[in-house]
A and B are shown apart, each in its own frame.
Chain A
Amino acid sequence: MSDRLSVFKTYKLYVGGKFPRSESGRVYEVTDAKGNWLANAPLSSRKDARDAVVAARKAFGGWSGATAYNRGQVLYRVAEMLEGRKEQFVREVAEAEGLSKAKAAAVVDATIDRWVWYAGWTDKIAQVIGGANPVAGPYFNLSSPEPTGVVAVLAPQESSFLGLVSVVAPVIATGNTAVVIASEKAPLPALSLGEVLATSDVPGGVVNVLSGRTAEIAAPLAAHQDVNAIDLAGADEALAKELEIAAADNLKRVLRPQAVDYFETPGIERMTAFLETKTVWHPTGSLGASGSSY
């Protein structure tokens, strides 16, 4: 046992591909499950939330316009990077959630596998939920899913890493960009995930991670006119209602909180919740009775 003094990490937000402190200069104490001090995390302000929306909007064109194959490669790269940092995340998850090292390791394994699962979805979801429609007329008619836009994500409060990834990955797999509010009590795995994303070819702004008081950050996001959707996974009943009312102002798509076992293989609902269906028509023309025009 060396008596070397360790180097603490200053946990910072992840916004637009950079690692700023909260513009408010505020931090709050993050403790482990037993109440021991772990770190001071940024206590994000409304302004931080708005800056994150600007970054997410700016990234939307490029990310939604990237090929599905490319998005799959990028998401898979995240899994690769996580695998290499497994030890760090096992420690952070164990501390954050009061889990044994073995249990925390199981959580991290499941989390990495979740990224891989969603990485594989990027170029399949359009075939599963889109397709040609057999209209009664001489028209080509095709429905395809498109990302809704900027999605505010209230990450689950309890499952600080597996739950977080289970709500963020489906949002960005389909081409949306995200402003994520980390678990209020246990934000450190989320803030560390930002560091992984920054080194995983995920373009800056595609995922933005804020820590702080969920209700304080979520309110301006739910009311924001340039946010297209909101996932209320991390909201309690009262907050969820309040945010859903605010979200109605520009008719955000709202995913209400529900009981989820994050260890189970998900369905596609978290992806379809933030997809629009676009249907394109075009006349097919006619070759005449004999079909011999060409």
Chain B
Amino acid sequence: MAFEYAPAPESRAIVDIAPSYGLFIDGEFTEAADGKVFKTVSPSTEEVLSEVARAGAEDVDRAVKAARKAFEKWSALPGSERAKYLFRIARIIQERSRELAVLETLDNGKPIKETRDADLPLVAAHFFYYAGWADKLGHAGFGADPRPLGVAGQVIPWNFPLLMLAWKIAPALATGNTVVLKPAETTPLSALFFADICRQAGLPKGVVNILPGYGDAGAALVAHPDVNKVAFTGSTAVGKEIARTVAGTRKKLTLELGGKGANIVFDDAPIDQAVEGIVNGIFFNQGQVCCAGSRLLVQESIQDELLDSLKRRLSTLRLGDPLDKNTDIGAINSAEQLARITALAEQGEAEGAERWSPACELPESGYWFAPTLFTNVTQAHTIARDEIFGPVLSVLTFRTPDEAVAKANNTQYGLSAGIWTEKGSRILAVANKLRAGVVWSNTFNKFDPTSPFGGYKESGFGREGGRHGLEAYLDV
């Protein structure tokens, strides 16, 4: 049964996007040294939102110098004073939450329902959480007076632009480091709005520097000799390149990379809840999530029942205007990402997997990909091995818990996994065997600032969130 929905668009009047933005260095917006700029577009309409200065190596150097200069005073501040700056930032984010949600939806293409109810509340919560740590570091288990590292170079992805900024900046500042952060080239705007929030909060100049730009700026930042700490979230391939770059230096490195999460559904699972979890696991943020449950491992005996339910549910998902409050599936972030998803899905078909999508009309402009499900997938298929980073679910089956575990672990990645069963001892036994940093049992894609997040194997190393997240920014 199909429901009709009247449009319920969130107003974009709440956000005022300037026609152009500079780099944010030493507390000032400034042009790039070479004057280069790039355009950022709304992925749902391809409308140009703004023109943004593009950082180059010279700008990186300028920003690192500013951060170095600011480090001395910032790290010497009493933790209680640093805490109050972070509390201020958290509060201003809450005050401007709706504005930032609309902005993020425009620049990223994800549904307003997600930016409003997931991204922004988590961003504010993250700053609140780490604000409280700033004057309690001696109790964190890293010695009586753990010291900051210095200047942190941080490179973040486009899938959760402001949330990834929060994950990077909040613990760095709480521990007394100063930062130079490069947002992704397709989603620079929320980081630039954050720069304005830093100014409103009265944060000392140079403590936070924002350098919109491309991979070359990220590479220059990571390689800069006066950077003490490198934190990167993004693809495994780039993560490896960064690991090679910092080899032989004293830079501390944390990496949060790709994944190919297994969502394991046992025959005694509550089917309706599992279906909601599967949908959330792979279609949240159009599947552009490093911890997405992109491999569904379903026990053979309930395969038909589960897939029927799942297909019925997928047919009710609403794809379209990300600013519409009813929208479940927004736009893919960029033409490049859409091309990658498209190519991998085609490869899935070519290798013999069976493709299915619900009837789903795609808007004419913008970057869109219908929710897609592949059955008859084997472990050898590319779509069961490579991270697709899109709304594409590969379905595999298993008969025994041992087989489920073996298949779940048969990947270079180790970021997330899901387990669906009513049997508590099975949850614990399977969770124990899974080589993944986050295991969601009878739920999926839950995040919290107090909960450490990060991968095993080639999903990276180090943890973000919780007490554990402090270690990445302390000289321990």
Task: Tell me if B437 is interfacial: C-beta within 8 Å of chain A.
Answer: yes
Q: Could you tell me the distance between the alpha carbons of A280 and B444 in the complex, rounded to whole angstroms?
A: 11
Q: Could you tell me the distance between the alpha carbons of A145 and B239 in the complex, rounded to whole angstroms?
A: 23
Task: Tell me if B50 is interfacial: C-beta within 8 Å of chain A.
Answer: no
Q: Given A143-B452, A244-B247, are A281 and B240 neighbors across the interface (CB < 8 Å)?
A: no
Q: Mark B453-464 against chain A: 1 for CB-CB distance below 8 A, else 0.
A: 110111011010
The minimal Cβ–Cβ distance linking B264 to chain A, given in whole angstroms, is: 13
How big is the A interface, by class? Answer: 35 or more
Task: Tell me if A66 is interfacial: C-beta within 8 Å of chain B.
Answer: no
Q: Could you tell me the distance between the alpha carbons of A276 and B427 in the complex, rounded to whole angstroms?
A: 20
Task: Tell me if A135 is interfacial: C-beta within 8 Å of chain B.
Answer: yes
Closest chain B residue, CB of each to CB of A237: B248
Chain B residues with Cβ under 8 A from A133's Cβ? 448, 450-452, 466
Contact A249 B240 (CB under 8 A): yes
| 27 interchain pairs, CB-CB under 8 A | A128-B141, A129-B141, A135-B446, A135-B448, A136-B450, A139-B446, A143-B452, A237-B248, A240-B248, A241-B247, A241-B248, A244-B243, A247-B243, A249-B240, A250-B457, A251-B239, A251-B457, A251-B458, A251-B460, A251-B461, A256-B250, A272-B471, A277-B468, A278-B436, A281-B446, A282-B427, A282-B441
Most chain B CB neighbours (cut-off 10 Å) among A129, A133, A244, A247: A133
Contact B476 A245 (CB under 8 A): no
Contact B452 A277 (CB under 8 A): yes
Q: Could you tell me the distance between the alpha carbons of A129 and B141 in the complex, rounded to whole angstroms?
A: 8
Task: Tell me if B214 is interfacial: C-beta within 8 Å of chain A.
Answer: no
Q: Could you tell me the distance between the alpha carbons of A254 and B463 in the complex, rounded to whole angstroms?
A: 15
Task: Tell me if A279 is interfacial: C-beta within 8 Å of chain B.
Answer: yes
Chain B residues with Cβ under 8 A from A134's Cβ? 450
Q: Could you tell me the distance between the alpha carbons of A269 and B244 in the complex, rounded to whole angstroms?
A: 23
Q: Given A133-B451, A277-B463, A281-B439, are A248 and B240 neighbors across the interface (CB < 8 Å)?
A: yes
Chain A residues with Cβ under 8 A from B236's Cβ? 251
The minimal Cβ–Cβ distance linking B131 to chain A, given in whole angstroms, is: 15
Name the contact of A143 in the complex, choosing from B247, B248, B456, B468 (C-beta under 8 A): B468
Task: Tell me if B125 is interfacial: C-beta within 8 Å of chain A.
Answer: yes
Task: Tell me if B255 is interfacial: C-beta within 8 Å of chain A.
Answer: yes
Contact A135 B437 (CB under 8 A): no
Name the contact of A279 in the complex, choosing from B257, B439, B458 (C-beta under 8 A): B439
Chain B positions 373-391 with a Cβ under 8 Å from a chain A Cβ: none
Chain A residues with Cβ under 8 A from B240's Cβ? 248-249, 251
Chain B residues with Cβ under 8 A from A148's Cβ? 456
A251-B255, A277-B437, A281-B443 provided; 10 other pairs, C-beta below 8 A?
Answer: A128-B141, A136-B450, A139-B443, A143-B466, A248-B243, A251-B460, A278-B436, A280-B439, A281-B446, A282-B427
